[in-house]
Structure 1
Amino acid sequence: MMTPDYGVYHNVKTPTWRIFTYTYLGFFIASITGHFLGAIFAASATNDPAWEAGFDNGNSVGGLINAVLAPAGGFGKFLTVLLALTIPSACAPTMYTFGMSFMTIGPFFAKVPRYVFAIVSEAILIPVAIIGAKKFYVTFVNVISIIGYWSTVFAVIILLEHFVFRKNNFGLYDIADWDKPRKLPIGAAALIAFFSAFGIIVPCMSQTAYVGPIANAGAGDIGILAGSAVALIVYLALRSLERSWYQR
């Protein structure tokens, strides 16, 4: 989630490898520690009745944490509350990115105060959280799976643009034109490729909430592979035409 707006305070003279290394290690070390602890507690829950009851078959991470810290008494409850209060710190960057992303779409969105987007994202987040609190594991898996589909297709389009059409040359990006729509690609190729990919992903996906006919026929969940292939073919063809017609 490191968008340019988050990194404006880096010294321009700092080597890029150092910025990458520090940023990557900062995210990696902090994330992997929590993931390892979570995996250990979740895997051990089946061996402890109190932990297993608190975990509620994977639907209550908070219950598991509370059960783990229960032997510490009042201090354990304090830590549980403290951990609960850290959740907004994970949501805040996402809400911020939500606003930043909309503001880059066009001039109209850029004129909307950023706090409006934060309120809108919160209005979406609250009902999802209420529903997800009762069926955490199923909701979590479904959301992550959907993100996996679209993010993979998005990545394919971005990589094709950079390595095929921009020749892996950052000099071909004119940063000064970022807010000048007439000088930017019209985006038709990317949009058509993206939605075309989902045209094949839906029948090929296999999730708890929905299983497509192709996946149900025995192919399994091949949505990411099929979607990536379609996005690659469609974007290569349409982006080539787009560049020849519009010269951008």
Structure 2
Amino acid sequence: MHWYESAVWIPNVITFIVMLGIGGKHFVNAPPSAPVTASNVITFATTAASSVISWCTMTPDAGVYHSKKASSLRIFLYTYIGLFIASITVHFLGVIFAASAPNVPTWEAGFDNGNNIGGLINAILSPLGGFGKFLTALLALSIPSACAPTMYIFGSSFMTIGSFFAKVPRYVYVIISEAILIPVAIVGATQFYATFVDVLSLIGYWSSAFAVIVLVEHFVFRKNDFSSYKMEDWNQPRRLPVGLAAVLAFFCAFGIIIPSMSQVWYTGPIAKAGTGDIGIPAGCAVAFVVCLVLRSIEKSWTGR
């Protein structure tokens, strides 16, 4: 899977370059379709952040490639720059093509009022004929590059919960995750963009709280000292933290995330007050405070 992930981006980059070459002449400095408000900016920032934060649960697996001699700063910069460049480039491409679509009839028809990203890409590449369809197909086939790591982590995460789950072959979890994924894909196929944003935001809510809890453990309670992690204890539950503080902090975070979220299917009272979707920053703040307090108590009682 790591080999696949390291190579699958190449067809995408080629396709994006071709799209820029063909569609560049149609780019315009489009005015906003509606007044820009602070609420809109915050909600958009939350969605954009969700697409990057969601990778945090997968980074530990990539850690097997890190040299023990590499500094923390170096690993941080490599990871941050890699995510930043990849994300900002695609975000800019999406913005400029979507903003220019209303001025090109074929693009607008393919885009279908902003609900069909695949149709927009196909319309942009249509002047190339069969080669354009081939590039569109390649781009579509790269979508598993986002799904496969999630399915992989779904299995490995269950296996870390308890010894019972570890006895189940990993491919069983992959099959279960696929059984969940296929119905969601079928339902969301007709409204891909709206479904994608809704699901992505949900992932961002919980993964941001998860990330804060991990960072609190590492920087506050382990003093940024990697030697405090005893590798030989990885499968010895009695030597590991109980985890109750982390679980409670996670659920407490959702106590503020839910009233602070702003989605098509639900808008909380705090978001309705005009703040926009502040679910991620609010959830992070609560997770930080609660984890700090409860983990201190947990550690004083259990000594681990």
Using the size of structure 1 for normalisation, the TM-score is 0.87
In 2, the alpha carbon distance for the partners of 1:227 and 1:8 equals: 30
Return the offset for 1:10.
5.5
Q: Aligned-pair distance for 1:190?
A: 0.8
% identical aligned pairs? 71
CA distance in 2, matches of 1:214, 1:25: 34
Q: How does 1:67-146 map to 2 (within 5 A)?
A: 67-146=123-202
Deviation of residue 117 (structure 1)? 1.3
Partner of 1:162: 218
- Cα distance change on mapping 1:8 and 1:133 into 2, 3 Å: same
Describe the SS at the equivalent of 1:134.
coil
How many pairs align? 248
- Stretch moving more, 34-43 or 107-116: 34-43
CA distance in 1, matches of 2:277, 2:69: 47
Structure 2: runs of 5 or more not aligned: 1-54
**Partner letter of residue 96 of structure 1?**
Y
What is the rounded CA distance, in whole Å, between the counterparts of 1:3 and 1:221 in structure 2? Answer: 26
How does 1:98-247 map onto structure 2 within 5 Å?
98-247=154-303
Query: Any unmatched runs of 5+ in structure 1?
Result: none
3-state SS of paired residue (2:121): helix
Distance change (3 Å), C-alpha of 1:57 and 1:243: same
Aligned residue identity for 2:114: G
Per mean C-alpha deviation after superposition, the further-off stretch among 223-232 and 58-67 is 223-232
Shift in Å, 1:6 = 3.9
- The SS at the match of 1:171 is helix
TM-score (norm 2): 0.72
8 Å contact from structure 1 (residues 60, 133) kept in 2: no
CA distance in 2 between counterparts of 1:202 and 1:10 reads 37
* Greater mean alpha carbon deviation, residues 59-68 or residues 221-230: 221-230
Q: Please report how far the alpha carbon of residue 184 of structure 1 lies from its aligned counterpart in structure 2 after TM superposition.
A: 0.7
Q: Is the 8 A contact 2:122 2:132 kept in 1?
A: yes
Asked if the contact 1:102/1:110 (under 8 Å) is kept, the reply is yes
Instruction: State the Cα distance separating 1:148 from its structure 2 match.
Output: 2.3
Looking at structure 2, the residues matched to 20 and 217 of structure 1 have their Cα atoms a distance apart, in angstroms, of 37
> Contact 1:166 / 1:172 at 8 angstroms: preserved in 2?
yes
The Cα of 1:20 is off from its aligned counterpart by: 5.8
Classify 1:48/1:221 alpha carbon distance in 2 versus 1 (closer, same or farther; 3 Å): same
Q: Which has the higher contact order (CA 8 A, sep 6+)?
A: 2
